[in-house]
Chains A and B, each alone.
Chain A
Amino acid sequence: MQAKDTLLQLKIMKKLLILISVLLQMTQFAIANEGLHVSGFGNLGLVYSDSENYQFRTDISKYDDKMSPTQVNWDAISNLGIHFEYRVNNNIDAVAQFFYRGQDSFSFDDYTNLAFLRYRPTANWEIRAGRTALDIYLLAEYRDISFAYPWAKVPTEVYGLIPHRSLDGIDFTYHDQTQPFDYRIKFYTGHSSSQIGGLDYKEALTLEELFGVSLELSQLNWLVSIKHTQAKIDDNTQSTQLLTDQLNRIPDALWQNRESFINGFELAGKSARYTSIGARYDFDPLSIIGELSHLDGDSSIFRKVNSAYISTVYSLDRDQFFYSYGFTDTDTYRFEDQTLRLDLLPLETAQLIFAINESSNYFSSSQSTHSIGWRHDLSDNLAMKVQLDRTFIDQGGGSLWFFDGFLQTSPKEAVTAVFVSMSFTF
């Protein structure tokens, strides 16, 4: 076990060294080239949680091969990004961003967060093609850029269930100033891929035929945003496919509704919809930020999830103090189909029912969190943050956390988590 850990650490160090050398070479190229602008951002943070059952993760794209025995996690909120902008002329520029947040593979694709060409025919119109940030919720585009917000992390209740970060496609934006507000409307389309995972496993989840619209109305001291995105899930995840294959073996005579059940269960070709309404209002020295989000889909796995948060931030010159409350609520799924003749089937069928319940509750998060915290800007580009979370997890509702066991048996628990981080830009 120890040899395996050492090997893993060596692999991670090797990847980091390769990444740093690539970044250094790119920076040297940038210095030699006047049209190129290089900048970056990062966060170094640790998370401590007092639970022996649950371990913190930012979202469901994170997976792990084991629970940390010390309950202290350095990987959860630490990251590093480097950002390149190349101005071709007054109308065209190119942007590329490479981002490390603990990915365990080293493909160029996995580390490329942004890579697009932008054409601005006028000051009002903008067209971008390539890989852009997925503008699905209010903070989604900059959820990993810790220096951009006062909290140590974005509210997990809303952002924890969204593993997708980028969109491969095209977007069109129109923005203008009117009285009494500015407005910005964006249409985007393409596809998006991500991993979803937990303890000991990870699977690919790709959204195809993704279409979305984002409308923002703003003044300097307020913002209202409404966003809606819909997409088709391209295929079953590996575990869903395995389970579907097993269910298909049950004869029609012993399960009349088999076909319609499988049709409602599997992910392939099913629609997923994301809607959010968010707002921010600043009345110096206070700011209020809040968002309501709704996720649903046509599969029993991708069911209705309502979540929200509200945060009050008190700003002094270099300090920000905040209190936030967030919640997410989903009904727990229980398989109920009287047409399945369990009495005539082998005992192992009960395990399939257990697996259906487990899969269908993957997105069933049910919890609420109170957070208090402090951000202190040590310099113009360096901030220190401390945050204390108290999360109340409902029974079977712990899917936002790493849990060493079956989700449907995850216990009700109140977890305290402490976040300490240094975030920076350069």
Chain B
Amino acid sequence: MRILMVVLTLITSTFWCVQTRANSVVVIVHKDNPNNQISKRQLIDLYMGKYVAFPNGEKAMPLDVAAPDALKRDFYKKLVSMPVSRVNSYWSRISFTGRASKPREQENERMLVNYIAQNPNSIGYVSRAQFNKMNSKQIKIIMELYE
């Protein structure tokens, strides 16, 4: 009985880990970008217009994605624990006062990846599942956001 419980626990936690990984959002940059990782605080500063630069001090161009709608919601929930409406409210006091420019929105994940492939100073996010599916050689992951 004890062995059965251990096996069941192992199966459940493995399944949960796989699910969590599959639901994660990956933060991507151009493959030639010298930055290989970024902290959550740096990513928050970058996406909330507080310090729009990579860890090495190079200016960055953050990108948002319009579709699927759930991806943007998921990204900001994981990043700052805020609904998109509150993120927009925050950004309206940054962008409309001319302090910083809102992340430029790309129509979908494929267009976002193509944009990053052509602009080495840009940074964006896609779902782990989409990243695996696209298998682009022009981009690399510098952070992964889980639940």
Contacts and interface: CB of A to CB of B under 8 A. Distances in A.
A386 interface: no
Contact of B102 (A39, A124, A133, A317): A39
Contact of A123 (B53, B80, B81, B93): B53
B89 A148 contact: yes
B92 A220 contact: no
Given A123-B53, A123-B59, A318-B83, A147 B98 contact: no
Contacts of A147: 88-89, 92
A218 B59 CA distance: 21
Contacts of A97: 96, 98
The size bracket of the interface on A is 35 or more
Q: For chain A, what secondary structure do more than half of its interface residues adopt (helix, strand, loop), or is it mixed?
A: strand
B44 interface: yes
A41 B92 contact: yes
Interface in A371-415: 377, 379-381, 383
Interface string B96-114: 1111011010000000000
B95 A83 contact: yes
A116 B44 contact: no
A172 interface: no
B96 A122 contact: no
Contacts of A81: 96
A84 to B, nearest CB: 11
Nearest to B57: A123
B78 interface: no
A148 B101 contact: no
B107 to A, nearest CB: 14
B88 A315 contact: no
20 contacts: A41-B92, A83-B95, A90-B121, A93-B101, A97-B98, A118-B98, A122-B57, A122-B59, A123-B59, A141-B97, A141-B99, A145-B92, A148-B89, A176-B51, A177-B45, A318-B83, A380-B85, A381-B88, A383-B85, A425-B92
